[in-house]
Chain A
Amino acid sequence: MSDFLRAALAVCAKDIRVEHRSRTALISAIAFAALVLVIFNFARDPASASREAMAPSVLWITFTFSGVIALNRSFALERENGALDGLLLAPVSRSAIYLGKYLANLAFVFTVEAVALPLFVLFFGVDLGGALGGIVLTAVLATAGFVAVGTIFAAMTVRTRFAELMLPLLVLPFLIPPLIGAVQVTARLLAGRPMSEIAGWFRILALYDLVFVTLCLLLFPSLMDE
């Protein structure tokens, strides 16, 4: 195994272990996701908006905001006892540190989504049926890009005074493209539209992932050295 991958996996395993012990981010994000779903469920006016029409947007708003909560924790844990300096002292590529953080964040956000999806089905009475595979693929593609951007902004904001506030302010504008794509795909999947209508959106989501994962891997070292 290359030194790069070994370091990335060490950082990822450490983050998962710390979260497993404290469960701070995971429980907060899952509780937040459940609350958002409950609020949308009861705040909806049945006379003006059907569940089917609202469901895709609600699903992705829930995933996005609960994901941001999970991301906030990512670099906050490096703030305790100056652990970030400990990471930066190590003779490993800064990009490997980013990759490790990214993989751990992906695991957290996927876990939150895996819990939130059944709650969404429960509250909105949506029949996923044959759409489940497509929705899982959409979640993988949209989350991969969203977490890439969120991880780098979490690193940028960790040394600011109001990191928890700054992260959503900075990251949400960058999440609009994958959010639009994910909502469009989910709406079409739930409506049983043919794959030909969806394939283009999948390509856009995959392109967003490719561009932002690459960019973030390249930018992270300069960000850490500043």
Chain B
Amino acid sequence: MVVGPNGAGKTTLLRLLAGLARPSAGSVRLRGVRLARDGEARRDIGLLSHQSYLYDDLTAAENLAFAARLYGTPDPEQRARGALDLVGLGNRADEPVRRLSRGMVQRVAIARSLLHQPRLLLLDEPFTGLDPASAGRVAALFAAERNAGRSLILVTHEVHEAWDLATHTHVLVRGAWTVSGPREGSLEDFLRRYREDQHE
């Protein structure tokens, strides 16, 4: 779990890790492979961004089937519908994205990021716009992914939602880590230290 105040560089960090931004120094490697040079390495990454990456004029199922085709997954339509079922939107699969609510679009975007079963899942504010029931469902989904051996990097301000998912906690302030290591202590202790770091 990565937390930090606005402008700390959390989204930039995820874009660097996803290979969408180029570092001004150093390089990003996934299992020893430089992302910028190897398109195939991108297959191992799933990114949920502030933007949904969805086409408003296509249905939820069409959007996901298109993404599945890009990732070369077999039976794209079936995979798309399966992913929508996972986020509880199987019954809205054939509706254009423009007709879905903000929370539903977020769930379709989550389904898109999980569609190709990436080894590394980068999640930027995954709980934004979700009602409590949907947030619980999504948190359970992420827990299942983590338990299946996938790595998750979860950037969030919703610390309460993410705390149970976290194995490690990192606090990013002005581009530097002020806390970085295995999760220790209680959520309250963590929040107290986090507030202190922000005020220093």
- A residues contacting B by CB (< 8 A) are 3, 6-7, 10-11, 14, 17-18, 21-22, 77, 80-83, 85-94, 225
Contact = CB atoms under 8 A, between A and B. Distances in A.
Contact of B69 (A10, A77, A82, A86): A10
Task: Specify which of B53, B67, B72 lies most central, judged by the most chain A CB atoms within 10 Å of its CB.
Answer: B53
A146 B110 CA distance: 39
The main secondary structure of chain A at its interface with chain B is helix
B118 to A, nearest CB: 10
Contacts of A10: 66, 69-70
Interface string B52-72: 111111100010001101111
B70 A81 contact: no
List the 8 closest pairs (A to B, CB-CB), nearest first.
A86-B53, A82-B51, A90-B70, A91-B43, A10-B69, A21-B57, A91-B42, A81-B52
Contacts of A21: 57-58, 96
A4 to B, nearest CB: 11
Contact of B58 (A14, A88, A225): A14
23 contacts: A6-B72, A7-B69, A14-B55, A17-B58, A17-B62, A21-B58, A21-B96, A22-B57, A77-B55, A81-B52, A82-B50, A82-B53, A83-B53, A83-B54, A86-B54, A87-B70, A89-B20, A90-B67, A90-B70, A91-B40, A91-B42, A91-B71, A92-B70
Contacts of A14: 55, 58, 66
Contact of B55 (A7, A18, A89, A91): A18
A92 B19 CA distance: 13
B45 interface: yes
Nearest to B55: A18
A86 B72 CA distance: 15
A28 to B, nearest CB: 15
A185 to B, nearest CB: 38
Given A3-B72, A85-B49, A91 B56 contact: no
Given A14-B66, A82-B52, 12 more contacts: A10-B69, A14-B58, A17-B62, A21-B57, A80-B55, A81-B52, A82-B53, A86-B112, A88-B20, A89-B53, A91-B42, A92-B39
